[in-house]
């Protein structure tokens, strides 16, 4: 199907209807003008015919052909007749005058007159009750032609003007429709590209477009509302996911990372260290004689101690280092990146220092803190995450064995008991 724009279709309709109206109006007006003029010219010729009949009555009555000819010549010239004749009752021509001219307009007038106007313009020459003959004449249609073409000219001018006004008005209407339709289509297109649903269409002058615009705005408001709801729902879901993820990754008592998270990040750190050739340190911490604290001061006091130990470890390491509670009274610290084993030992010493001050419980009882720390460094002491954690664990037991409250670095030479 051949497509056309709305405006091409509108323009074609305007053009056809205007042309049709102008042609129809023009033909009707030209016909009316023609008939009115013809009636006037015929009236005039009838009047002239009667004047001629009256003027030649005496000449016809007395058979004075010469006088009749003269009268006919004078009247023909004065009234602009092409020819005028007086014929007797038996049809014989009694007098005749012709007033021919060669000019084209005159010739055209004569033809027009012959074709449309003075067919059989006649008047009887009567003397008393007796009919002496009849006058036959043919007018010069020049006046008729001039008048007719003038009327036609004015008519065409008026129709041209009407066509021009119709065109200007059509363009104006078209412009209004185009502007409002453009605004509607432009909005739909822009929205499709940028999705900025807070935009709104202005009010329109054309009622139908205005109704469409208002419906469009209502739809936009609806979409905006739905979007806001969706975004809100998504945010809540994300928050729920984050808190679920946090629960899955963290120890609920101390808020530190749990064993699973520690294992994941340790594996990741070793992969990166293997690629970059750097070191990764693991500190394995176990509270000293924690069982007796539980037994002496109660489980809640033990919990408070675990929370405090976690806080102290956290405070002794860098922000980028990971502190995790592996379970029970065991903690681990992931030191990544790490320059060398010496740095890991310094961090362990810092942690031990942080434990020197005791913990005062809510009931005023003071508890002494103590941790044993095992140190292992990749790639010096182990080649994988599991072996590294195992090495740190072994070193921690070595620290316990050597008297607790100290740090011990993994050494393959020493046989370590778990």
Ligand X SMILES: Nc1nc2c(ncn2[C@@H]2O[C@H](COP(=O)(O)OP(=O)(O)OP(=O)(O)O)[C@@H](O)[C@H]2O)c(=O)[nH]1
Q: Is 308 in the site for ligand X (CB under 6 A)?
A: no
Strand-strand pairing, 407-409 and 371-378: parallel
Give the footprint of ligand X on residues 382-411 (CB under 6 A).
400
Question: Whole-number minimum distance, CB 293 to ligand X, in Å?
Answer: 8
In the residue annotation, 366 being an active-site residue is answered as no
User: What is residue 324's three-state secondary structure?
Assistant: strand
Stretch that binds ligand X, among 64-72, 142-150, 161-169, 290-298 (CB under 6 A): 290-298
For residues 332 and 307, give the distance between their C-alpha atoms in angstroms, rounded to a whole number: 14
Q: Which of 113, 286, 288, 329 is catalytic?
A: 329
Give the footprint of ligand X on residues 213-242 (CB under 6 A).
none
Binding ligand X (rule: CB under 6 A), the pick from 11, 65, 167, 289 is 289
CB nearer ligand X, residue 78 or residue 299: 299
For residues 261 and 259, give the distance between their C-alpha atoms in angstroms, rounded to a whole number: 6
Q: Is 258 in the site for ligand X (CB under 6 A)?
A: no
Structure tokens of 346? Answer: 């310094």
For residues 44 and 144, give the distance between their C-alpha atoms in angstroms, rounded to a whole number: 11
CB nearer ligand X, residue 57 or residue 286: 286
Indicate if the alpha-carbon torsion angle 205, 211, 217, 220 is positive or negative.
negative
Structure tokens of 168? Answer: 């200007």
Stretch that binds ligand X, among 45-53, 238-246, 287-295, 356-364 (CB under 6 A): 287-295
**What's the DSSP call for residue 402?**
T
Q: Is 365 in the site for ligand X (CB under 6 A)?
A: no
CB nearer ligand X, residue 127 or residue 292: 292
CB nearer ligand X, residue 12 or residue 292: 292
Instruction: Beginning with the edge strand found earlier in the chain, give each strand of the sheet holding 279-287 in spatial order.
Output: 322-327, 330-338, 279-287, 371-378, 407-409
Q: How many residues bind ligand X (CB under 6 A)?
A: 16
Scan for tokens 């690629």, then name that residue: 275
Contact 53, 61 (CB under 8 A): no
Q: Is 250 in the site for ligand X (CB under 6 A)?
A: no
CB nearer ligand X, residue 137 or residue 389: 389
Phi, psi of 315 (to 5 degrees): -70, -20
Stretch that binds ligand X, among 62-70, 72-80, 159-167, 302-310 (CB under 6 A): 302-310
- Tell me the C-alpha to C-alpha distance, in Å, between residue 264 and each of 36, 184, 257, 259: 109, 55, 11, 9
Q: Is 254 in the site for ligand X (CB under 6 A)?
A: no
Q: Is 328 in the site for ligand X (CB under 6 A)?
A: yes
Binding ligand X (rule: CB under 6 A), the pick from 73, 101, 217, 294 is 294
Rg over CA atoms, the chain: 61
Phi, psi of 140 (to 5 degrees): -90, 110
Binding ligand X (rule: CB under 6 A), the pick from 57, 180, 329, 393 is 329
Contact 138, 113 (CB under 8 A): yes
Q: Is 171 in the site for ligand X (CB under 6 A)?
A: no
Residue 392 CA, distance from chain mean position:
65
Stretch that binds ligand X, among 139-147, 177-185, 285-293, 408-416 (CB under 6 A): 285-293
CB nearer ligand X, residue 113 or residue 308: 308
Q: Is 374 in the site for ligand X (CB under 6 A)?
A: no
Contact 349, 388 (CB under 8 A): no
CB nearer ligand X, residue 106 or residue 312: 312
User: What is residue 378's three-state secondary structure?
Assistant: strand
Question: Which residue is nearest to ligand X, using beta carbons?
Answer: 302
Binding ligand X (rule: CB under 6 A), the pick from 79, 286, 308, 398 is 286
Stretch that binds ligand X, among 119-127, 184-192, 260-268, 284-292 (CB under 6 A): 284-292
Bridge partner list, 408: 374
Sites of contact with ligand X (CB under 6 A): 253, 286-292, 294, 299, 302-303, 306, 328-329, 400
Active site residue ranges: 329
């Amino acid at each position: 199907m051949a497509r056309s724009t709305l405006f091409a279709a509108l323009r074609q309709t305007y053009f056809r209807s205007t042309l049709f109206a102008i042609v129809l109006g023009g033909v009707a007006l030209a016909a009316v003008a023609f008939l009115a003029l013809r009636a006037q010219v015929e009236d005039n010729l009838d009047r002239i015919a009667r004047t001629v009949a009256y003027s030649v009555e005496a000449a016809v009555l007395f058979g004075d052909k010469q006088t009749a000819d003269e009268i006919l010549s004078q009247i023909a010239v004065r009234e602009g007749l092409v020819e005028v004749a007086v014929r007797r009752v038996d049809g014989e021509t009694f007098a005749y005058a012709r007033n021919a001219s060669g000019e084209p307009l005159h010739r055209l007038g004569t033809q027009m007159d012959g074709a449309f106007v003075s067919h059989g313009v006649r008047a009887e020459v009567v003397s008393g009750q007796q009919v002496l003959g009849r006058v036959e004449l043919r007018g010069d249609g020049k006046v008729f032609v001039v008048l007719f073409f003038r009327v036609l000219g004015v008519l065409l001018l008026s129709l041209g003007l009407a066509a021009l006004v119709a065109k200007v008005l059509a363009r104006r209407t078209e412009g209004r429709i185009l502007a409002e339709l453009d605004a509607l289509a432009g909005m739909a297109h822009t929205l499709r590209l940028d999705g900025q649903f807070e935009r709104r269409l202005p009010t329109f002058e054309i009622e139908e477009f205005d109704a469409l615009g208002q419906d469009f705005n209502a739809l936009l408001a609806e979409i905006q509302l739905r979007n806001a709801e969706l975004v809100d729902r998504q945010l809540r879901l994300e928050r729920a996911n984050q808190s679920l993820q946090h629960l899955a990754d963290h120890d609920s008592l101390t808020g530190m990372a749990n064993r699973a998270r520690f294992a994941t990040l340790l594996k990741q750190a070793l992969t990166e260290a293997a690629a970059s050739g750097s070191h990764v340190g693991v500190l394995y911490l176990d509270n000293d004689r924690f069982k007796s604290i539980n037994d002496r001061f109660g489980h809640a006091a033990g919990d408070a101690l675990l929370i405090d130990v976690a806080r102290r470890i956290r405070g002794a390491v860098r922000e980028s280092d990971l502190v995790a509670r592996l379970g029970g009274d065991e903690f681990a610290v992931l030191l990544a990146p790490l320059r060398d084993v010496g740095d890991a030992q310094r961090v362990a010493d810092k942690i031990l220092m942080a434990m020197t001050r005791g913990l005062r419980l809510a009931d005023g009882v003071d508890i002494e803190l103590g941790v044993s720390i095992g140190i292992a460094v990749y790639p010096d002491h182990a080649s994988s995450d599991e072996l590294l954690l195992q090495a740190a664990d072994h070193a921690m037991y070595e620290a316990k064995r050597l008297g607790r409250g100290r740090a011990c670095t993994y050494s393959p030479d020493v046989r370590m008991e778990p």
